[in-house]
């Protein structure tokens, strides 16, 4: 009987060890999962930072080309207007050239506004760096019209700083164990994005 009691004590001890190991494996699994999710957030941020820098450099180059073209077209407009004024035997041929020159100099365009467009659902989300200024120039509209159009299509628009705040809040929630599944994380990200949206 003592052998049976001793055996039962050993089994209870083994069961206790198994329960403790199971708990430790679960905690380690949770820790690995959280670290993986945080690493993915950091990778997303890094990719978006690279994309934003690329777009901003494109915008800088486009603005430089625009201004050089504006100067050249102003000079050409002045020369052409003066020539037309002289051919038409206008009393002041330079006045027509000056009007063409001023018209060309008055041309404006928007450059440099880049926002992050966030959309999705509980299954997945999408984040894209969008040059609002480029779309404005391409579509011949205002930045506000482009922003309203994107919002109308269901995008939350955020500056990079505001989106980094969203990622920081999401990372904090993951670290604290607040979000247990990817679906919960996606819902949280979209809710944070909605609250930070312009």
Closest CA to 58 of 130, 128, 139: 130
pLDDT for 52 equals: 94
Number of other residues whose CB lies within 10 A of the CB of residue 148: 13
Structure-token pair, residue 26: 């679960």
CA dist., res. 146 & res. 152, Å (int): 10
Question: Do the beta carbons of residue 143 and residue 115 sit within 8 Å?
Answer: no
**Residues whose CB falls within 8 Å of the CB of residue 178, separated by 6 or more in sequence, listed in order:** 188
Say how far apart CA 86 and CA 73 lie, in whole Å. Answer: 19
Please state, in angstroms and rounded to a whole number, the distance separating the CA atoms of residues 35 and 32.
5
The sign of the dihedral angle between the CA atoms of 43, 47, 52, 53 is positive
pLDDT of residue 96: 61
- Could you identify the residue written with the tokens 């949280």? 188
pLDDT computed for residue 124 by the predictor? 81
Q: What is the pLDDT of residue 130?
A: 94
Domain extents in the chain: 2-56+110-196
Task: Give pLDDT, residue 121.
Answer: 81
By CB atoms closer than 10 A (0-12, 13-18, 19+), residue 131 is buried
* Order of strands, sheet of 125-131, starting from the edge strand that comes earlier in the sequence: 125-131, 114-120, 156-158
Three-class HEC string of 62-79: HHHHHHHHHHHHHHHHHH
pLDDT in tens for each of the 198 residues of the chain? 677 777 667 767 777 777 776 777 777 778 888 888 899 999 999 999 999 999 999 989 988 877 777 666 666 666 666 666 677 776 776 666 666 666 655 566 678 899 999 988 878 888 999 999 999 988 889 999 999 999 999 999 999 999 999 899 989 999 888 887 888 888 888 888 888 876
The predicted structure's pLDDT at residue 65: 78
CA distances from 145 to 50, 148, 152, 163 (A): 27, 5, 10, 22
């Amino acid at each position: 009987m003592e052998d049976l009691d001793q055996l039962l004590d050993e089994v209870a001890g083994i069961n206790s060890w198994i329960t403790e190991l199971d708990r430790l494996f679960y905690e380690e699994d949770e820790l690995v999962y959280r670290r993986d999710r945080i690493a993915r957030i950091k990778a997303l941020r890094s990719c978006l930072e690279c994309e934003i820098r690329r777009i901003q450099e494109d915008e800088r180059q486009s603005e430089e080309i625009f201004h050089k073209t504006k100067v050249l077209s102003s000079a050409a407009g002045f020369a052409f207007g003066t020539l037309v004024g002289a051919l038409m035997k206008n009393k002041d041929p330079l006045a027509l050239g000056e009007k063409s020159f001023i018209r060309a100099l008055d041309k404006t365009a928007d450059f440099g506004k880049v926002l992050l467009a966030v959309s999705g659902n509980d299954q997945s989300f999408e984040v894209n760096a969008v040059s609002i200024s480029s779309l404005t120039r391409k579509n011949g509209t205002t930045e506000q019209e482009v922003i309203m159009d994107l919002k109308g299509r269901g995008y939350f628009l955020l500056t990079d700083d505001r989106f980094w705040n969203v990622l920081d809040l999401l990372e904090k929630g993951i670290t604290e164990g607040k979000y247990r599944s990817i679906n919960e994380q996606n819902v949280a990200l979209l809710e944070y994005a909605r609250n930070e949206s312009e």
